[in-house]
Homo-oligomer: A and B are copies of this chain.
Amino acid sequence: MVFDITILGSSSATPTSKRNPSAQLLDIQGNLFLIDCGEGTQIKLRQLGKRFQKINHIFISHLHGDHFFGLFGLLSTMHLLGRKTPLHLYAYQELKPLLDQLLQLSYTELKYPLCFHEIPEGESSVLYSDKNVEVAAFPVKHSVPCSGFCFREKEKPLNVKKNIVELYDLDPVQIKLLKEGRNIVVEGEELKSKEVTYRSFKPRSYAYCTDTIYDEGLLPYIKGVDCLYHEATFLKDLAAAAKDKFHATAKEAALIAQKANVKQLILGHFSARYKDCSPFEIEAKEVFEEVVIAEDGQTYSIRKL
């Protein structure tokens, strides 16, 4: 029942010797989701021993090369390794015809169904939903159309406390009723669902916001999430440059985290000019305490509560 975020790339537009362009692997209760797919993503997945054929959903935030140039290689490798399972790709629609052409040019006729889902520009929408998780896209402000993503676990079903089941020797019908939130009478005694049931854990949530300028408009979409990944391309001394390029600083990312009342902030998408990224953490901590610096290959877990 994990909720793990593995950083595959935390550099901004140009990779460095230690940081790849943007990509992240989410493992939510054993379902693997890929967010963005910068160049080198498949190689990093291999190096980390991740079973990337188990990825069934890929979300591309926007069409700057550092967020999708690794897609062609990954799709091609999945094909070469014999994938048959459908793969769902969520991106702006302009990507689709080009992807088709590129696969054709490289003589690749995918052996698995590639299901393309268009992300609507400039509005929020639910992209995916199953019994465990819902994935929503929402607009963020960048120099080109760009989406943030929010992954929210669904509320777990009610369980009846084990000692209650034993004490009252409950049968399956009685258990079912209590799980549905209904009260029942057993041997003249009322058992209140509220009192005898529990949920295995509280739903967890994760939001991904890159690339974006400082924008309070995204607060409603990320309010109270357990973990927020927010870009911090620059430090605050370059706030003007950040604004100019529609990027954010570490301080601005921290302000968003604070205002959105999130539990944990991960900073990433660092400009290649910074050899040492520890000043990002120091700068952000002046505003928001629970902050870490993304490191390629690192996994951040959201624990069950």
Interface residues of A (CB under 8 A from B): 13-17, 20-21, 38-40, 42-43, 46-47, 49, 63-66, 68-70, 72-73, 76-77, 80-81, 94-95, 98, 101-102, 105-108, 143-144
Q: Which residues of B contact A101 (CB under 8 A)?
A: 98, 101
Q: How many copies of this chain?
A: 2
Min C-beta distance of A91 to chain B, whole Å: 11
Q: How far is the CB of A66 from chain B (nearest CB, A)?
A: 8
Q: A107, B76: Cβ atoms under 8 Å?
A: no
Whether A107 lies near B63 (C-beta < 8 A) is yes
* Chain B residues within an 8 Å CB radius of A102: 98, 102
Known: A21-B73, A39-B43, A39-B70. 19 other contacts (CB 8 A): A13-B76, A13-B80, A15-B43, A15-B46, A15-B77, A17-B43, A20-B43, A39-B72, A39-B73, A63-B105, A64-B107, A68-B106, A69-B69, A69-B72, A69-B73, A94-B105, A98-B98, A102-B102, A107-B143
Q: For residue A41, give the distance in angstroms from its CB to the closest CB of chain B.
A: 9
CA distance A20 to B105 in the complex (A): 21
- Bound CA–CA A94/B102 (angstroms): 10
Task: Kindly state the separation between the CA atoms of A65 and B74 in the bound complex, as whole angstroms.
Answer: 10
In the assembled complex, which residues on chain B have CB atoms less than 8 Å from the CB atom of A43? 15, 17, 20, 39-40, 43
Do residues A65 and B76 form an inter-chain contact, with CB atoms below 8 A? Answer: yes
Chain B residue nearest in CB terms to A70: B39
Q: Kindly list chain B residues whose C-beta atoms are within 8 Å of the C-beta of A47.
A: 17
Flag if A108 contacts B65 (CB, 8 Å): yes
On chain B, the residues within 8 Å of A68 by CB distance are 106
List residues of chain B with CB within 8 A of the CB of A81.
14
A20 to B41 Cα, complex, angstroms: 12
- Residue of B with least CB distance to A68: B106
Which residues of the other chain, B, contact A20 by a CB distance below 8 angstroms? 43
Identify 6 residue pairs between A and B in the complex whose beta-carbon atoms are under 8 Å apart, listed by A's number. A17-B43, A39-B42, A63-B106, A64-B106, A66-B73, A107-B143
Q: Whose C-beta in chain B lies nearest to the C-beta of A16?
A: B46
| Interface contact B70-A14, CB-CB below 8 Å | no
Residue of B nearest to A20 (CB): B43
Bound CA–CA A1/B44 (angstroms): 36
User: Looking across the interface, which residue of chain B has its beta carbon closest to that of A42?
Assistant: B15
Q: List chain B residues, Cβ under 8 A from A108.
A: 65
Minimum CB–CB distance from A109 to chain B (whole Å) comes to: 13
Q: Report the minimum CB–CB distance from A78 to chain B (whole Å).
A: 9
Nearest B residue (CB) for A144: B107
